[in-house]
């Protein structure tokens, strides 16, 4: 037979473990608030670095695709700064507004009759900028895969306050990334 004394003692022990005390709850909320305050700036920096990295990779992909198409089609392929909307404006010199790659079938160095678009990218998101210190508005890949770029042609993908990336294009057509060591951005983001 079970005694009532033990039964009441068990109920008392269970009653104390059914919930949290107010002190425990407030301590947990306080610790969570401190962690959120410390973690928020790191998350912002992580997201911006990820955005810069994604735009750098997109530009490298465009350059590689243009080089590949030039060799495959045996015609020059041009990657040009271009404002892309319902029509493509090839007179744009700010790479942040967008870019387009086209096959320059008649090798005129400009988009005209007979040429066709290979790829279009719209303006960069947020305050990310893509720029070229030399003022180039286009890079042309020749049918042998080389470019019209001079040695050390650099494009910069960045945003003020964050370390961006430089993309170096060699005359042989190879493009590679060099990390930036300064947080100032030479380019102007698309507005």
Nearest to 98 by CA among 127, 120, 128, 78: 120
Global pTM value: 0.76
- pLDDT reported for residue 135: 83
Q: Can you give the chain as a three-state secondary structure string?
A: CCCHHHHHHHHHHHHCCCCCCHHHHHHHHHHHHHHHHHHHHHHHHHHHHHHHHHHHHHHHHHHHHHHHHHHHHCCCEEEEECEECCCEECCCCCHHHEEEEEECCCCCCCCCCCCEEEEEEECCCCCCEEEECCCCCEEEECCCCCECCCCCEEEEEEECCEEEEEEEECCCCCEEEEECCCCCCCCCCCC
CA pair distance 151, 169, nearest whole angstrom: 7
Given this model, what pLDDT does residue 26 score? 87
In the chain, domain spans: 45-179
Token duo for residue 47 = 């997201």
The rounded distance, in Å, linking the Cα atoms of 37 and 21 is 25
Question: What average pLDDT does the segment 148-156 reach?
Answer: 85
Give the confidence band of 86 by pLDDT, cuts at 50, 70, 90.
Answer: low
pLDDT digits 0-9 by tens, 40-71: 667 777 888 888 888 999 999 999 999 999 99
The per-residue pLDDT for 2 is: 54
Looking at CATH, the fold of the domain delimited by 45-179 is given as: minor pseudopilin epsh fold (3.55.40)
Categorize the per-residue pLDDT at 74 as very low, low, confident or very high, splitting at 50, 70 and 90: very high
Minimum mean pLDDT among 22-31, 83-92, 137-146, 150-159: which range?
Answer: 83-92
| pLDDT the model gives residue 183 | 75
pLDDT for 14 equals 54
The dihedral over CA atoms of 176, 182, 183, 189, expressed in degrees to the nearest 10, equals: -50
Please give the Cα distance from 171 to 74 (Å, whole number): 18
Chain position carrying tokens 């198409």: 69
């Amino acid at each position: 037979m079970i005694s009532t004394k033990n039964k009441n003692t068990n109920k008392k022990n269970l009653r104390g473990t059914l919930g949290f005390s107010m002190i425990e709850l407030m301590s947990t909320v306080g610790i969570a608030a401190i962690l959120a305050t410390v973690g928020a700036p790191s998350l912002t920096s992580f997201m911006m670095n990820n955005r810069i990295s994604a735009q750098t990779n997109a530009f490298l992909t465009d350059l590689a695709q243009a080089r590949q198409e030039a060799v495959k089609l045996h015609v020059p392929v041009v990657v040009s700064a271009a404002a892309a909307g319902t029509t493509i404006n090839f007179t744009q010199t700010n790479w942040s507004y967008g870019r387009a790659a086209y096959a320059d079938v008649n090798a005129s160095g400009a988009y005209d009759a007979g040429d066709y678009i290979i790829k279009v990218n719209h303006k960069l998101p947020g305050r990310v900028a893509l720029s070229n210190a030399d003022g180039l508005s286009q890079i042309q890949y020749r049918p042998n895969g080389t470019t019209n770029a001079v040695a050390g042609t650099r494009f910069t993908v960045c945003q003020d306050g964050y370390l961006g990336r430089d993309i170096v294009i060699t005359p042989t057509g190879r493009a590679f990334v060099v990390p930036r060591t300064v947080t100032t951005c030479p380019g102007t983001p698309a507005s």
